[in-house]
Structures are given as C-alpha cells and as structure tokens.
Amino acid sequence: MRESKAITPDLIASHGISSEEYARIQGILGRDPNFTELGIFSVMWSEHCSYKSSRVHLKGLPTQGPCILQGPGENAGVVDIGDGLAIVFKMESHNHPSFIEPYQGAATGVGGIIRDIFTMGARPIALLDSLRFGPLGDPKGRYVAGGVVAGIAGYGNAVGVPTVGGELFVSERYAGNPLVNVFCLGIAPKERIWLARAGGAGNPVIYVGAKTGRDGIHGATMASEAFAEGSEERRPTVQVGDPFREKLLIEACLELMAQDVLVGIQDMGAAGLTCSTCEMASRGGVGIEIDLAKVPRRETGMIPYEVMLSESQERMLLVAKRGREAEVLQIFRKWDLDAVIIGRVTEDGMMRVKEGGQVVAEIPAHPLAEDGPVYRRCMARPDYLQETERADLSCLPVPRRLGEVLIQLLGSPGIASKLPVWRQYDHMLFCNSVVEPGSDAAVLRIQGTRKGLALSADGNGRYTYLDPYEGGKLAVAEAARNVVCAGARPLAITNCLNFGSPERPEIMWQFAEAVRGMADACRAFGTPVTGGNVSFYNETLGTAIFPTPIIGMVGLLEDIRHAATQWFKAEGDVIYLFGETRDELGGSEYLKVIHGLETGRPPRLDLDRERAVQAACLAAIQAGIVRSAHDAADGGLAVALAECCVSGPEARLGAIVELRGEVRPDALLFGESASRILVSVTPADADRLEAVAATHGAPCVRLGKVGGEELILKGRGFECRLPLARLHDAWATGLSQLLE
Amino acid sequence: MRVGVLVFPGTWSHQDFAHVLGDVVRSPWGFVWHKERSVAGYDCLILPGGFAHGDYLRCGAIARFSPVMEAVVRFAKEGGPVIGSCNGFQILCEAGLLPGALLRNTCLQYRCQWVHIRTENRNTPFTRRLAPGQLLRIPISHGEGRYYAAPETLAAMRARGQIVFRYATADGRVTAEANPNGSLENIAGVSNEAGNVVGLMPHPERAAEALLGSQDGLPLFLGAIQTVR
C-alpha cells in the first residue's frame, strides 16, 4: 500500500463509502480525498463511529435530569451522587471481535470501556458483563463462551477492576453472533471531571501508552458489517490487549489529572488516532496538527493510512497546557510509559496530519466528526410478528409433572447459577462489594460516605423479538426492579443496543420500536440515558440475532445498611408477592425449554403498576422490614421461589407456598408477568408490609412461609414437593456441566 | 510504628491495605514505590496482591528484581516483620525469603471466593493474636496459588512449624474439598524459619469489616501493629 494509491470507485466501495457519502466528502474538502483521507472518512463515518442509522431515533431518549452532570456525547455519562462525588459509567459492545477471537475480543472490550471511564478522571471500580452465546452443547458455542469468559477474567483481574456482576443467556439466535457487552463504572470528585476536548492554540498534543502497530486496522468498519463465510480470516482486525499497560495508564493518568497541567484527554479506541484527534478538535472548536513521524511504532514501514487507522490498544491522546510538558512527561516516565509530543493545537479548525514535513491529510475537524451522513432508513414491521402475535398458547397441554418442569428450568443455562462464570472474576477488589454476584443486583459501598450503589445489567432479546416496543420497556423495567430489590433508588441508565443490519427495514423497525419503548420507560422511572452504544450488523449469513437492548442501570442507596439480597434469611419468615400473575406464557423461558416455542406476546408492562410495585418494595426495604427481595422474572414465580430457597451463600431454606388465581397452573408457576417482586419479612412485620403496599397502591398477597427441607408449591389442581438438595443440584450444575 | 505498603507497577491491593490500615485499624502507613532503594522509617512491610510487572512471566519473577527488593531482603534478614498476600506471597517466594513456589491452580482457572483457613502456627508477628487452630473466613483471588515445596523442604517446614495456615472446611477439617487450588497439604500460608516473614494467598484486607462479611482478617493487622509497638 502506498500513499499515492489512486482513488477508484472500487477502492471507495471497499471502504464501505456510498456514492452519496463520497460526494459529501468532496463537498467538505472541496476536492477529491487522497488515500489516507479516504481511510479517515471511512472509519469516522462507519456505523460504529457515526451512529448514522441510529441517530434520528436516539434523539427520542430522555437525557436530562437533576443529577445528570454529563449526558451523551462524551466518553461516558456523569451523575451527581452527593457528598461531592460523581459516578461515571458507560457500556459498550465488543460483539464482532469476540466472535472472531473470543479471548482477545472480550479482553479488549473490557480494556476499551475502562479507558472511557478513567479518561473522564474517574477511578474505575466496577465492571458488569452482559453475555449472549449460542448453545453450549455445541463445540463452537462452548469455545466462544469459554474464550469470552477467560478473556474478561484475564484482562479484568490483571488490570485490577473487579467484575461485580452481569448476566448470561444462551440461544441458537446468538450462535453465529455472540454478544459481549461490558459496563464500567468509576467514581470521581464532582469538580474534577475531565472532558475530551482540545483548546488553546499552541498547546502540545501528547501521545501516551502502547506503541502503534498494524492491529485493528478497520476494526470499526468490521463492526459495521455483517459476517459472511470466512470471518475467521478477519482475525487481524482484532486487537490484542495488555492489561498491565492499561493499569499503568490508569495510575499515570489519574496522577496527572490531580495536577493542573491538562486541558483535555481522550482514549484511542475505535478508529484510534483518527477519532481521538478530530473529536477533541471538534468538541473544542479548534484544530489539531500532528506529525506521524513522531508516533511510537512497533512495526516498520507503516504508511500514514495505517498509523491513522490502527486500533492498537492502551493508547491515550492528551492536550497539555503549554509550558507544563515536562511535568506531564515526568509522570509518564515514572510509570515507564511512552509519552511523546506529536503535535499542537491550532486555531484553524483543521485536522492536519503530517509525515515529517509533508502534509498527508488535511480535513476540517468539525465536519469530519459531526457532519457525517444521517440516515432515516426504511422501516417495515416484520412479517413474522403476524404469526407470533396470533399464536394460541391456550391449547398447549399443561405438563402433568410440574415439579419436574421446575427442575428442568432451574438447570437451563439462562436460569442456572452463574457461579461457574463469576468465580473466575475478582469481584471483591477495592473492598466495596457488600452484595457479591448472585443476587438481583450488585451492591457496592461508597467509601467515606454512608451511601451505596446498586448495579444491574438486563435485557431480554426474546421479548424484544416478539414485541420490540414492549421489549425495550421491559428491559428498563427489569433493570430498575433489580436495583430496587437491592434497596436502591434507580438513578440513570446506559445501554448497548444490539441489532442486525440497519439496511433491512424490519431490523430498523425493531430498533426504532425498542428505543421508543426504552424512552417511555426511562421517562416513567425518571432514569435518564447518560450514553451508550449501538451495535448493528449482528448477523451471520443473513440470520440476525434477537434484537437485544441491554440496559445498565445504576441505583443509589442513601444508607448502605439497607442493602437487600434475594435469598430467604430465616425459618418462619412470611413470604409476600408484590404484583399480580396473569395468564401470560408468551416469550417465556418455560415455553422455550419445555415446549420448544419462542412465540406469543411478551408479558404486558403497565408502567404505573411497575412504579407502584417498585415504590412499595423500596419503601419497605428502607423501613428496615424486608429480609429478602427478589424479582420474579425468567422462569416465573416457581423459579424465583426456588432461587430464594437455594441461591444464598450459606444455609438453604425451604418454603411452603400456596398460589391462588384463575390462571392455568403452568402460567401461575412459570409465566413471566412483569412487575412482580417476592419479599420475605418476619411475622411481626407482616402487617406493616401490607400497610406499605397499600400506601403505594401495589397489589400484595401473602404466599406462605419460609421453612423446612422442601419447597412445597400448592395450587388448584397441583401440589409439588421438591427437596432442597434436588433444587440446588439442578440450579448449581446446570451451567457448569455445559461449560466444563 | 509505621507500616510500609509496597507498590509495584501492576499491584492492585495496596489501596485496600491502605484503607484498612488508615480507616479501620487507624495505624500510620505509607506507600513504598518499587523504585525506592530504602525502606527506612517503616517498622513493618506489606507486599500486596496484584500482577506486579504484569506477571506475564512466572508470578513475581520480575518483581523480585525491582530496586526496592534489596532493601526488603535486608529488612527481613534483620528480623523486621514482612507479610505478603497473594501476589506478595508469590514475590516473597521468588525472592527466596519464603520456601516453595506457587503454581497454577489445578482447575486451571482463576478463583475468587470465600474460603476458611485454619491457623497452624501462632508463633509469628502476624498470627500471635489468633487462637490455636482458629478458623478464619477470608477471600482468595488468584490463578496461581497452588503451593508446592520439595518433599524434604516440606518435611523441614513441618518440623519447624513454618506452615502457618491450611485451607479447611467451615468446621475446621483439612480436606480435599476445602482445598481451592490444589495446594500441597492444603497449605494457604507459610513463614520463614525465623517466623518474621509470612506469606499467604488469601486477602486479609478483604476480611476486615463486618459490612463486607468478615472481620477475621483483622487480627493479622493487629498482631503486626502490636508487635512493633
């Protein structure tokens, strides 16, 4: 590849640039781009970096709120939590790289999101992962799952950021396209948040961290295409992570940010040097001029095109105050990191790239970063919905042995204990983990205060497939319910939206509907969106994944002593259900596992009801009367009750429960009606709990009590008695058998 | 009385030790950067967990060559109390201050979990506040914590009481099921011959507050502080 490569229609097309987009480039430049410039435009205007298909829809999401210090548009969102502190958080996908090379794909996903957090001046203190794999009985599915989990462990453990929670789900629909969504949260003094913007003509632009190689060139473009045969050949577009260097970068950058020497800082993630340079210039309303001859390289013979597009990991770009360069370089020297002045801020608004004395690319920064194409793509309601919405589930036979159904569900990988995964992650570092993985939400204390944070990642692709609008709503509702069950007030969300190709009208319709559902739910719960990530083109050979919006929810506990967990605590406690069970089997795990069906309508979500249930649960927890609280979701009430019995870290406790209602027994036990929470209280507090529920207008029924060596489920026409050991075995070994 | 907490590039438990020393047991402490050549002014040294220098090679193999280690070895030879947890234990073994080595867990995976360890030797500065056979509920977090020593070394260690902690069940039995990583004889912690240098794979700093589920690690801190006072 030489610089002088002629710009032919084939070359333009191979960069994924349409003829309209090319005309737009000519308009911005007033001339034809050269080869380097074409590469720069192709990555900045890729779907991954430009959000060109999603932008018009994302505008509908609420982003304002009293505690929001920084909404979408920066490296991460920032929320005020009082006591002079702010939390910084974001979620990102690394789906495509994780399919091509599971270990490094997942590892660099962890590295990338951590950089987004400390770039803003926050110390990263927690990670969550939302994972979707193909069936684990299949060797490829097991290879991908094993590699991804090992990659998250390998990077997260070494870099020293605990993985405190997450979720995992398995379906054929992810066999050709796994999902790896990583959430990271950091904490910072409120007045010390750093933004990714350049400023002050003449200020030095400094390159820090790992040397630049040829890895990851066009990674952002790869993430903007569907997979065909031979995706493995794309392995060179996946980067290789170095958690040790990232740890040094965290410490050096945080040390630097405590001094008064910086103007702005951004990590080099997708589209590497290109993206960081033009975005910092654009946000600051200035220009940046850099000289590639000064960029540290680990390979020889790299041309400007390659240096600009490399996605080598563990690199940062920063703008320092003029005259303070020595102090900056001194700190990086202490940490044995490469730090080189590669350019300066200019007044002319241009991103000017030189190689030695010669200008190799010259593009106005603002139009490059902000004036990319925006598409209002065709949308069409998918045909399959006609069939799934009409599916008559009432004619399904009710299984005779409902207890065996429960055992089978508990062992299904989506429901079974995730211990085989999370015990591979350090989830306790920093001494904050008050509630470890394995409950509805992770709870961290905030040192130096009485407060705590509850974190949850949720999303149900099957629901979204069957009704994208409801699926978007349900994802936000479940995430909020989970942090409420932990005793926290939902504050704000981030998200990863994983969909198929936006060039297909049905996919675009799914996307628009899901975002609309999320927006409505976020407004109802008062939880604004602080940022997120869209991952399109999640399909292989024309088969798309389930449309999967994943919500990362953060909740605040004013008093960490109110942290609640899902498992029963003592014999004799009384079990209540907030909410109601309807005749809803559509989209349930039961329907899939037992009947092999993924059809029907997902559970209906009434936002007012959901709010009432959450308010009642939170008030009861804050009143100190709740001994356990657990969201009844995947697998329904029976599964939730079984989890209350056997998921505790210590003793297992049985229960006797009577379920009333006019719905069919399998829907009563395994249906996934929304807005339901199981709580247990001491007998002395039972009346108070009912009073709290009445105050908030939440339905509240007494189901039974904790105790014994069995879970006994009684109802009209059925009675199941399941020994705790059987429940525990099914739940504890379901996933480990598949993974090992 | 001042405790020095060593920081190598890639160390990550130093903040947690600092938190327990400063906020829980309220004892003076300071970080010691690995490029320092002296540990003067400190009465006790802690080598925390992490991945010093990345540990891409054998764990601790590069850290033992960090400039500060010469001073640490001198301090230990003069009888100063030194404790290494997790990666710190690995470094002390590599530096020759403790016998044996830490190999990859038999499950070939990282393990972060609560375990119980039984106190086998109270005759060290760090374990003197523990009762004979006292059980501690404490977390581990490592991929390479399988303790190994040659048979004759192990016999000598046993004879001299250098085995400080063993993994045990919640009721104190030393069994194979209680062993999370395949360590020889369930060994979780050892000392040098003099008893002033102790290494253990578990993290006492993560078991120092009731809010986090256990305070069983606290006596190790209190023992060290009391000794020097």
> Helix (H, G, I), strand (E, B), or coil: what is residue A431?
coil
- Residues of B within 8 A of A209 (CB-CB) are none
Q: Are A79 and A87 in contact (CB under 8 A)?
A: yes
Question: Residue A522 CA to chain centroid, in angstroms?
Answer: 16
Q: What are the tens digits of pLDDT across the range B103-134? A: 999 999 999 999 999 999 999 999 999 999 99
Nearest Cα residue in chain A from B11: A160
CA neighbor of B13 nearest in space, from B107, B98, B88: B88
- Going by pLDDT thresholds of 50, 70 and 90, the confidence category of residue A218 is confident
The number of beta carbons lying within 10 Å of the beta carbon of residue A649 is 13
What per-residue confidence (pLDDT) applies to A223?
Answer: 63
Residue B34 pLDDT more than 50? yes
How far does A434 lie from chain B, in Å, by closest CA? 5
Rounded Cα distance, A361 and A431, in Å: 49
A264 near A284, Cβ under 8 Å? yes
Average pLDDT of A518-532?
A: 97
Residue A270: predicted pLDDT:
80
pLDDT band at B229 (very low <50, low <70, confident <90, very high): very low
| Spatial separation of the C-alpha atoms in residues B78 and A256, rounded to whole Å | 38
Q: Is residue A235 predicted with pLDDT exceeding 60?
A: no
Q: Write the CB contacts of A216 (distance below 8 Å, at least 6 apart in sequence).
A: A237, A238, A239, A272, A310, A311, A312, A313
Q: Mutate which of B7, B12, B169, B201 to disrupt the A interface (most A C-beta within 10 Å)?
A: B12
pLDDT at position B200, please? 98
What share of chain B in percent tops pLDDT 70?
99
CB contact under 8 A, B114 and A243: no
Tokens (6 digits) for B144? 């390479």
Q: Is A620 left (phi over 0), alpha (psi -120 to 50) or beta?
A: alpha
Element at A254 (helix H, strand E) = helix A243-257
Residue B137 phi/psi, 5° resolution?
A: -95, 120
Q: Check whether A4 has a pLDDT greater than 80.
A: no
Residues contacting A76, CB < 8 A, separation 6+: A70, A88, A89, A90, A116, A117, A119, A120, A122, A184, A186, A494, A530, A531
- Catalytic, B185? Answer no
Region of residue A507 (left: phi > 0; alpha: psi -120 to 50; beta: else): alpha
B86 a catalytic residue:
yes
Percentage, residues of chain B above pLDDT 90: 96
Q: Does A427 touch chain B (CB under 8 A)?
A: yes
pLDDT tens string A313-367: 899 999 999 999 999 999 999 999 999 999 999 999 999 999 988 999 999 999 9
Confidence band for A229, pLDDT divided at 50, 70 and 90: low
Where residue A2 falls among pLDDT bands split at 50, 70, 90?
very low
Each residue's pLDDT tens digit, A356-408: 889 999 999 999 999 899 999 999 999 999 999 999 999 999 999 999 999 99
The predicted pLDDT at position B228 comes to 55
The rounded distance, in Å, linking the Cα atoms of A428 and A420 is: 16
C-alpha–C-alpha distance, residues B166 and B185, integer Å: 8
Domain boundaries, chain B: 3-228
Alpha carbons A658 and A680: distance in angstroms, whole number: 15
Question: Is B141 near chain A, with CB under 8 Å?
Answer: yes
A45-48: long-range contacts, CB 8 A cutoff, minimum separation 24: A45/A17, A45/A21, A45/A372, A45/A373, A46/A16, A46/A220, A46/A221, A46/A223, A46/A224, A46/A271, A47/A223, A47/A224, A47/A502, A47/A534, A47/A536, A47/A537, A48/A220, A48/A221, A48/A223, A48/A224, A48/A270, A48/A535
For residues A621 and A626, give the distance between their C-alpha atoms in angstroms, rounded to a whole number. Answer: 5
**Interchain contact B100–A (C-beta under 8 A):** no
Q: Is B203 a catalytic residue?
A: yes
Residue range A447-459: mean pLDDT, rounded: 97
Q: Do the Cβ atoms of A431 and B110 come within 8 Å?
A: no
Mutate one of B90, B110, B221 to test the A interface: name it (highest A CB count within 10 A). B110
Determine whether the interchain pair B51/A423 forms a contact, defined as Cβ–Cβ distance below 8 Å: no
The answer on pLDDT for A1 being more than 60 is no
For residue A336, the model assigns a pLDDT of: 93
Give the lowest-confidence range in A225-239, A625-639, B6-20, B146-160.
Answer: A225-239
Sorting pLDDT into bands at 50, 70 and 90, what band is B194? very high
- ipTM, two decimals, is 0.97
Q: What is the pLDDT of residues B40-98, one digit of tens each?
A: 999 999 999 999 999 999 999 999 999 999 999 999 999 999 999 999 999 999 999 99
Give chain A positions within 8 Å (CB) of B53: 244
> How much is the pLDDT for A222?
61
What's the confidence (pLDDT) of residue A5? 79
CATH topology of domain B3-228: Rossmann fold (3.40.50)
Chains A, B: CB pairs < 8 Å = 78
- What is the arithmetic mean of pLDDT over A127-151? 95
CA–CA gap between residue B146 and residue A626 (Å, rounded): 42
On whether the CB atoms of residues A500 and A547 are closer than 8 A, the answer is: yes
Across A509-526, average pLDDT:
98
- Cα gap B95→B98, rounded to integer Å: 8
* CB contact at 8 A, A90 and A77: yes
User: Helix (H, G, I), strand (E, B), or coil: what is residue B58?
Assistant: coil
Q: Is residue A189's pLDDT more than 90?
A: yes
Q: Which uninterrupted H or E stretch holds A402? A: helix A402-410
Question: What are the tokens at A360?
Answer: 């190799």
Query: How many CB atoms neighbour CB A81 within 10 A?
Result: 20
pLDDT at position A637 over 80: yes
Q: Give the mean pLDDT of B1-11.
A: 96
Query: How far does A448 lie from chain B, in Å, by closest CA?
Result: 9
Rounded mean pLDDT of chain A? 94
Query: With bands split at pLDDT 50, 70 and 90, how would you rate the model's confidence at A233?
Result: low
